[in-house]
Every structure is written in C-alpha cells, then in structure tokens.
Amino acid sequence: MELEKWMLEINQIVDKHELRILRNVVNDRIKVVGHMVKYSLDRGDIVMVEGGRKIGKEEGTIVKLNRTRAVVNINGTDWNVPFSMITKQ
C-alpha cells in the first residue's frame, strides 16, 4: 500500500526541522479537506464524528451548519464539531 510506504519513509526522517515542516503540511491539508467536507453536508445528514478523548468515533445527525463548525446531535446532545472531524456516511 502507498500509505505503508509513506509511513516507512517518514520513520526514516531524523531531522526535526523536516518533521516540523511535514507536520505543518499535513495539518494544512487536514484543514483543506475539512473545508471541502463542509460543502457536501446538509441539515439532517448522518455523519461519523471522529473526535478526541471524549467522543471517540460516534454517529450523529447534522443539526446546523455554521461557518467553521457543524452542530451535530450525538445521542441526544448537540456538539459543535470542526468540519475536519466529520465524515459523511
């Protein structure tokens, strides 16, 4: 797989400066992909939210779309979720 090949290459990098540049590139790409997700969502869509420690992976429903985040109802609770954490089902 291509991903495994990239991971092996990344593990061979020993320069901290190069790793920081790579981290910034990846973070910027995550933001771009999150913004692209925004335009594919509508109110009522079923989505998967991949969150941090509190949420984990949960399924929810889009309640409202804001400029930078969506309000997602997960198990009866509304959460403000960044688009980069949302995947449309």
CATH code of the domain in which 46 resides = 2.30.30.140
pTM above 0.85, yes or no: no
pLDDT digits over 10-35, tens only? 999 999 999 999 999 999 998 888 78
Distance CA 85, CA 13 (A): 28
pLDDT digits over 28-86, tens only? 998 888 788 889 999 999 999 987 666 678 999 999 999 989 999 999 999 999 988 89
DSSP 72: E
Domain that holds residue 84: 2-88
DSSP 67: S
Provide the pLDDT for residue 53.
67
Q: Which tokens sit at 44? A: 């009522």
Provide the pLDDT for residue 55.
60
